Amino acid sequence: MEILLLGIYSFFVWLIFIKLKLLPWTTPWKVGVAIFPIVAIAVMLLLLNIVAPTTTDVRVVKYVVPIVSQVRGRVVEVPVENNRPVKKGDVLFRIDPTPYQNEVHSLEARLVSEEAKVVADRARLAETQARLADAESSERQLREQLNQATGQRTSVSASLDLAQKRVAQNSELVNSGAGNRFDLEQAQTNVSELTAQLAGARAGEQQVKEKLGGRINGDLATVAQVKAQIATAQGQLRVSQAEVETTRAQLENARWDLSQTTVVAPGNGTMVNVMLRPGFFVAGMPFNEVMTFVDDEYQIFALFGQNELHQVAAGNEAEITLDTYPGRVIKAHVDSVIWAQGQGQLDASGDLPRTVFAAPPGRFPAKLVVGDHDRTLFLAAGARGSAAIYTEHLGMVHIIRKVLLRVASYLDYVIIKHSFSLH
């Protein structure tokens, strides 16, 4: 840039003093002409580097995605070509889906069988729960039978007491000759019958009590038995449901594996390093890259010296020139300055921190975002160029930087190559 300024200055000196002879080419003027550019260029460069810093180290970075297969198998189709653009969702290659399709069919059949088993277990549980209601109602019936047996025993016992009194009364009357022998015998017969009835009532009452007394954990034996059957049925149902959930998960994984037999482009970009061909076997390992995807999305970083960035702020106007587009200026703005370098990081280890580093470059990247007008412009990954940032200070001086940037961009049309001769 300094050479360019000196060239422009020399042209005007030649025009004024030599060609047009507007001023005399005397010693004072010669001294002034020699000193002025040194001072002027130094001051101007110092100001420009503060309020409009520039760099010749601009880099276009794109996302590169290694394409690997999630599943293993034989490749049957590769419709994509090397160094060709692709759209998101375009098929890159296909793997033989037969084993994965068979696994899906097998798991689908198993799932149907296990779901039918769950339905059967639910029906069995419902049936057992219905029996529990019957068992609990039988307990109420036994209590009613106990009440009836107790009432019957009490009634027969009272009748027996009365009959026994009549026997005693009739015995006294017969012994005194005032009573009828038949009435005595009738009373004795009533006592015998009531005694038998009382024994039967007591036996029935005792039987009902025994049924009510046979309990397990506070429940009747029949109720406890049905509850145990319910617990067993519930456990079996849970096992069947767990088997169904396990099979469903396995089926989802199998379907996912089947879907991964067709590998598609993750976005809009370009495929490079496409060496895969039908018949190749892919192992389904993360380090087994079979082709490379270069995303159309890009980032632009301009590397500046540390002392050039103290006036730079997010949102400042910026301009970029790339060697791939001679004579074109790309409008942009500053997104951020990345104030971090690898030299500022210490790895955790058992060793003492290192205090001697390789000579640091002392440069920090500023992330630039291309404006809407140039956003659709194709930028090659790894493209290099120059950039200038225009801060909010001394805006009148920015025009000099813009002119210099454009002149330097047109110089990119000049291609200088070294020629070699073979002997």
Select from 119, 116, 128, 115 the least CA-distant residue to 233.
128
Confirm whether 348 is domain-assigned: no
Are 272 and 217 part of one and the same domain?
no
Element housing 387 (H / E):
strand 384-390
Strand ranges (DSSP E) for 46-185? Answer: 54-67, 73-77, 84-86, 91-95
Residue 371 and residue 331 in contact, taking contact as beta carbons nearer than 8 Å: yes
Confirm whether 353 is domain-assigned: no
The whole-chain average pLDDT of the chain stands at 82
Task: Read off φ and ψ for residue 400, nearest 5 degrees.
Answer: -65, -45
Select from 365, 284, 265 the least CA-distant residue to 60.
365
CATH number at residue 273: 2.40.50.100
DSSP-derived letter for residue 338 is -
Position 370, amino acid? V
**91 three-state secondary structure:** strand
Residue 307 and residue 96 in contact, taking contact as beta carbons nearer than 8 Å: no
Select from 82, 308, 71, 124 the least CA-distant residue to 231.
124
The answer to whether residue 266 scores a pLDDT higher than 80 is yes
The pLDDT score that the predictor gives to residue 22 is 82
Select from 322, 340, 339, 323 the least CA-distant residue to 331.
322
Distances, alpha carbon 124 to alpha carbons 193, 195, 223, 420, in Å? 51, 50, 17, 92
Over residues 273-324, the pLDDT tens digits come to 998 999 999 987 777 889 999 998 889 999 998 888 888 999 999 999 998 8
Are 228 and 128 part of one and the same domain?
yes
Residues in the chain, overall count: 423
Are 231 and 297 part of one and the same domain?
no
Are 238 and 217 part of one and the same domain?
yes
**279 three-state secondary structure:** coil
How many CA atoms lie less than 13 Å away from 288 in the CB half-sphere? 12
The answer to whether residue 227 scores a pLDDT higher than 80 is no
Are 231 and 137 part of one and the same domain?
yes
Over residues 201-219, the pLDDT tens digits come to 777 666 656 555 555 454 5
Alpha carbons 410 and 170: distance in angstroms, whole number:
151
Select from 92, 79, 61 the least CA-distant residue to 294.
61
CATH number at residue 247: 1.10.287
Place of tokens 């767990």: 242
Residue 40 and residue 12 in contact, taking contact as beta carbons nearer than 8 Å: no
Confirm whether 27 is domain-assigned: yes
Are 184 and 129 part of one and the same domain?
yes
The pLDDT score that the predictor gives to residue 357 is 46
Direct distance between the N- and C-terminal alpha carbons of the chain, in angstroms, rounded to an integer: 39
Alpha carbons 26 and 60: distance in angstroms, whole number:
52
Point out the least confidently predicted range of 224-233, 283-292, 408-417. 224-233
Looking at the DSSP bridge assignments, the partners of residue 384 are: 59
Residue 220 and residue 143 in contact, taking contact as beta carbons nearer than 8 Å: no
The answer to whether residue 167 scores a pLDDT higher than 80 is no
Q: Which two tokens mark 228?
A: 């145990």
Strand ranges (DSSP E) for 182-338? Answer: 215-216, 219-220, 262-264, 269-272, 281-282, 291-305, 317-322, 330-337
Confirm whether 215 is domain-assigned: yes
Which domain covers residue 121, as residue numbers?
100-256
Are 77 and 201 part of one and the same domain?
no
The answer to whether residue 44 scores a pLDDT higher than 80 is no
CA angle 72, 77, 81 (to 5 degrees): 115
Q: Which two tokens mark 263?
A: 């590998």
Element housing 263 (H / E):
strand 262-264
Are 193 and 158 part of one and the same domain?
yes
Percent of the chain with pLDDT over 70: 81
Point out the least confidently predicted range of 16-25, 119-128, 358-367, 398-407. 358-367
The predicted model gives 127-132 an average pLDDT of 77
Are 221 and 182 part of one and the same domain?
yes
Q: Which two tokens mark 49?
A: 């580097």
Over residues 8-34, the pLDDT tens digits come to 778 888 888 888 888 888 888 888 888
Residue 248 and residue 107 in contact, taking contact as beta carbons nearer than 8 Å: no
Are 297 and 241 part of one and the same domain?
no
Confirm whether 18 is domain-assigned: yes
Confidence grade of residue 158 (pLDDT, cut at 50, 70, 90) = confident
Q: Please tell me the chain's helix, strand, coil percentages from 3-state DSSP, rounded to the nearest 5.
A: 50, 20, 30
The predicted model gives 151-172 an average pLDDT of 75
CATH number at residue 58: 2.40.30.170
Looking at the DSSP bridge assignments, the partners of residue 75 are: 95
Confirm whether 350 is domain-assigned: no
The pLDDT score that the predictor gives to residue 375 is 86
pTM for this model (two decimals): 0.62
Confirm whether 355 is domain-assigned: no
Point out the least confidently predicted range of 184-193, 208-217, 231-240, 359-368. 208-217
**369 three-state secondary structure:** strand
Confirm whether 147 is domain-assigned: yes
The answer to whether residue 423 scores a pLDDT higher than 60 is no
- Total structural domains in the chain? 4
Are 119 and 173 part of one and the same domain?
yes
Q: Which residue has the higher pLDDT, 38 or 117?
A: 117
Are 297 and 307 part of one and the same domain?
yes
The predicted model gives 59-66 an average pLDDT of 90
The answer to whether residue 129 scores a pLDDT higher than 70 is yes
